[in-house]
Amino acid sequence: ITSIEQFAAMTPRQRAVAYTARFAPALLPAVLRAGIAQIDSSSAEKFMTPLYPTGSRDREVVNRPGVADRIIEGYRYTVAQGQKAFQIDAWHVTRDWSALVAGSDCPLHLIHGELDPVVSLRSVREFAQARARAHVVEIEGEGQLLLYARPGPVLAEVADFVRRCLVQP
């Protein structure tokens, strides 16, 4: 997230958490408690469903057998670590990491869904274009849930990147 304009593409709940995390982190625990309570209750699906709106590619993926259960299991794992885990995640997700990236010479291989509603493909392209060592792989027709939607191609990209990084000239 290099600018707050990127928040506009998020779903209302994600946008509210992002603004709170970025500009009023002291209020974040109160905001997160409501979501954590939903996850802890028997209505974890009610927490998840608004994140992937009806008609979106990500909702199609969530509706596949077993996917929602896996995502909810991840939420429950995070909640088991306490509210602090969500606070840390929200803080990191809403920050501009550009300075950290500038301080490194490691290659960047960004795999991104064309239809990601949280971080737009346009913003990922702009981020990569500003860094010569960055490469973007765009997965057409997919959203945020790339690993659930197309695990084979995503893992093949990761494996290919690792092999290239490990090969000595």
pLDDT tens column, 35-48: 777 777 767 787 78
Using pLDDT thresholds of 50, 70 and 90, give the confidence band for residue 168.
low
Distance CA 98, CA 91 (A): 15
- Could you tell me if 116 and 145 are in contact, meaning their C-beta atoms sit under 8 angstroms apart? no
CB of 117 closer than 8 Å to CB of 131: no
Asked if 118 contacts 10 with a C-beta cutoff of 8 angstroms, the reply is yes
Helices (H), 51-141: 57-62, 67-80, 83-93, 98-102, 121-129
- What pLDDT band is residue 157 in, cutting at 50, 70 and 90? very high
What's the pLDDT at 25? 78
Model confidence at 91: pLDDT above 90: no
Phi, psi at residue 17, to the nearest 5°?
Answer: -65, -40
Instruction: Please check the confidence at residue 154 and state whether its pLDDT lies above 90.
Output: yes
Structure tokens given for 114? 């064309």
Global pTM value: 0.77
Q: What residue has token string 């971080």? A: 119
